[in-house]
Amino acid sequence: MIDRLRPVFQTMPIVLVVAVLTLVGGWLGHVLGTQMRISSDREEMTGYAGQLLSHAVDIMNEATSAIDATNASPYPFCSHPEIELMRNVLFEARNLKDIGRVRDGHLVCSTILGIAADRLPMPAPQIVLFDGTLVYPDTPLAVSDSKATIIGREGTNVVIDPRAFDTLNHSPYHYAIFFGDVARNRFVRIFGDKDAAAPLSTAAETWRLAGGMLRRDSCDQASGLCVTVWAGLRDLDASSNGIVNAIMLLGAALGALVALIGIDFRRRDQSLMARLSRALAREEVMVLYQPVVNVADGRIVGAEALVRWQSNGDFVPPDIFTAIAEQKGMAGRITRYVLDHVIDEMGGTLRQHEDFRVNINIVASDLKDPKFFAALDEGLRHAGLKPYQIGIELTERSTADSSAAIEGIAELRSRGHVVYIDDFGTGYSSLSYLGELKVDVLKMDRAFTRTVGTDAVTVSIVPQIIDMAIKHHLAIVVEGIETEAQAAYFRNLPVHVMGQGWYYGKPVPAGTLKRLLERQDGIAAPGKGRGKSRPPLRRTGTG
Ligand SMILES: Nc1nc2c(ncn2[C@@H]2O[C@@H]3COP(=O)(O)O[C@H]4[C@@H](O)[C@H](n5cnc6c(=O)[nH]c(N)nc65)O[C@@H]4COP(=O)(O)O[C@H]3[C@H]2O)c(=O)[nH]1
């Protein structure tokens, strides 16, 4: 039963990660889509309110002009010529339904009524503006059963077409137009929704999101008009649900994609580690040796062991797979593999030449790993080598956990190993930190070597690093020497340094290194010339 369920348990975390990231992506998409929707709704409402206001301004201008033209009539009050004049004025107006003349609070004549048989009383205006303009909103008309807004001044009234805004209806928005004395916050609704609440403020623009409504009020002091536009969020949702849903789906799809890419990366890492594990077990990983020379005379005094691995025919850079192996807890296996190969392949040479040294690279976790220390002891004892013949290289990164690094380094040195700080200058270490770490040798990163012979500003750091290394009694290995100019620069320094780089030799198999050594007197023939170029074995002075 458990076996049958195993695949389900194995795939469950993947399904969970994909589901969670899909939901998170969908939720973010929804939030983003809603924000975009609200901002586009706002934009649309602003445009709509602008159209309403400009139409309302046109209507009020028309009303004012009609009133002025009628009041300027040269004819007797409500005479036939005056009514004729009023009809001509009305003919020119697009949004007015009637023009009438008023005396003592009564309508006496109008373009539609002609001369009223009975004088019709006008209701009290709802608002009287400072220039004497009277506003009668929603007022029953004498000539029909309908109601309309009437504006009057100095004995003339105009009836505004109650359908003047019909062409501007725009679902899902509602609107209302207010008119009055904006500065004193006194106005009445003259058009639009009867239940509309008065503007919340007389500012040029006010937004309110409450009660499931998005509302915009805007007032224009010059014309005395305020426009209020609002819509229910649900109605807005319905009109733009498509876009929000599309963005939400896109977010969900992106979330799922990120999850799948992450899982694929993890699988690749895992399968890379599975392949590395197989390659180590089958001894398919090679160890090459790069000569370390005495820069003064170019003689090989040691070597650095470097791993080489080809997976499915492709070369995998060692810094990449060792870093992944470190994350996956597999780096210790590589270290022990390299150590075993160094002892197997170079043990004879090391026994023959006691002042020759091969360095191995280790990682932070090795410093705390009893298996590593046991393997070192066992390897040295078995091969009959001196501890100082196996140098230990640690990158600056490996020493980030300083207390563990200090302890591990002290342990290695107490056993007689020479400890190198690798790629110096690229990471964490300051020279004072180096003092605390108490290593023996500083390997100056090849980034600094590259600047020698150029105008690069960083070249000025090289003498500084060397000076401070001397002050801390550290020996120096310069990495990445590629040209004669670089070699000459370091050869001519007043201090003795070791060097490593393509100029002296690329990493080569053990057999090739041994042949190089055979060509070199003093190494090829033990005793001959020995001691001419000893590598720095121990830190001197305070160390
Ligand atoms: N451009 C240039 N490059 C030069 C020159 N001279 C040497 N090199 C390269 O510089 C690197 C020196 O090794 P590293 O600083 O310890 O840096 C090493 C080390 O951090 C890591 N590594 C290699 N082998 C091992 C190993 O066995 N264990 C662990 N933990 N890390 C290893 O991978 C890094 C890269 O190793 P490699 O690719 O072998 O690259 C090597 C070497 O091939 C030169 O003149 N010019």
- What per-residue confidence (pLDDT) applies to 396? 79
- What per-residue confidence (pLDDT) applies to 1? 53
Q: Which residues pair with 158 in a beta bridge?
A: 99, 151
| Distance between CA atoms of residues 103 and 117, nearest Å | 14
pLDDT in tens, the chain (543 residues): 555 555 555 566 777 888 888 888 888 988 888 788 778 888 889 999 999 999 999 999 999 999 999 999 999 999 999 999 999 999 989 999 999 999 999 999 999 989 888 878 899 999 999 889 999 999 988 777 889 999 999 999 999 999 999 888 888 899 999 998 888 888 899 999 888 888 888 888 899 888 888 899 999 888 899 999 999 888 876 666 777 788 888 888 898 888 888 887 777 776 888 889 999 999 999 999 999 999 999 999 999 999 999 988 889 999 999 998 998 899 999 999 999 999 999 999 999 999 999 999 999 999 999 999 999 999 999 999 999 999 999 987 778 777 888 999 999 999 999 999 988 877 655 666 777 888 999 999 998 898 887 766 555 678 888 888 888 889 999 999 999 999 999 999 989 999 999 999 999 999 999 999 988 855 443 333 333 333 333 332 222
Residues 6 or more apart in contact with residue 31 via CB below 8 angstroms:
none
Atom of ligand 1 nearest to the CA of 481: 45
Give the H or E element holding residue 14. helix 2-71
Q: What SS3 class is residue 502? A: coil
Residues 6 or more apart in contact with residue 97 via CB below 8 angstroms:
112, 141, 148, 159, 160, 161, 162
300: left (phi over 0), alpha (psi -120 to 50) or beta: beta
The structure tokens listed for 62 are 């028309």
Cα→Cα distances 334→379, 395, 462, Å: 15, 16, 33
160: left (phi over 0), alpha (psi -120 to 50) or beta: beta
Q: Where are the domains of the chain?
A: 2-234, 283-518
Q: Which CATH class is domain 283-518?
A: alpha beta
The DSSP code sequence of 147-187 is EEEEEEETTEEEEEPTTTTGGG--TT-EEEEEEEEGGGTEE
Cut 0.80: pTM above it: no
The structure tokens listed for 210 are 């409450």
Q: What SS3 class is residue 416? A: coil
CA–centroid distance, 536 to ligand 1, in Å, is: 21
| Distance between CA atoms of residues 16 and 24, nearest Å | 12
> How many CB atoms neighbour CB 434 within 10 A?
19
Torsion of CA 308, 312, 313, 319, to 10 degrees: -30
- What per-residue confidence (pLDDT) applies to 538? 33
Which one of 321, 361, 424 would you pick to mutate in the ligand 1 pocket, going by the greatest count of ligand atoms within 8 A of its CB? Answer: 361
Atom of ligand 1 nearest to the CA of 318: 33
CA–centroid distance, 479 to ligand 1, in Å, is: 10
Residue whose CA lies nearest to ligand 1 atom number 17: 319
Q: Which amino acids bring their CB within 6 angstroms of ligand 1?
A: 290, 306-307, 317-319, 322, 331, 334, 338, 361, 363, 393, 395, 422-423, 446, 480, 482, 500-502, 507
The reply to whether ipTM tops 0.90 is yes
Distance of CA 138 to the CA centre of its chain: 57
